[in-house]
Amino acid sequence: MSNLQDLLKSDSEDELTRYYDGNRKRQKCEENEEDDIATFLAIDIITEEFSSWQEKRRGGSVVGRRVIPRDPLEGHTRLMMDYFGENARYPAHVFRLSAV
């Protein structure tokens, strides 16, 4: 505050103008920084909401239903062995075409 009091006592218009211009620039910078912080906070909140919405959205047609991990390769192998392997579960006559 002593800076401002010294300037007021000096009666120099140029010095007062420089002082006020400097204060205005500083205030604008601070306002811009506050605006930037508010913008980044808003973006962060929106991003967080969107990602949590997407996480909740997954899960198929039934909400809260758990997915059972399956091994499709093992299922294919088992199917091939049951139908076409050496010790097939189903005999060859099951696959014979009948005359229509």
The tokens describing 14, both together, are: 């140029």
Per-residue pLDDT reduced to its tens digit, 22-50: 777 777 777 778 888 888 888 888 888 87
Q: Note the pLDDT of residue 9.
A: 58
Weakest mean pLDDT among 11-20, 46-55, 69-78, 90-99: 11-20
Q: Which residue has the tokens 């809260």?
A: 64
Q: What is the pTM of this model?
A: 0.30
Confidence of residue 74 (pLDDT cuts 50, 70, 90): very high
Maximum C-alpha span of the chain: 118
Q: How far is CA 88 from CA 24, 82, 95, 96, 97, in A?
A: 89, 5, 12, 15, 18
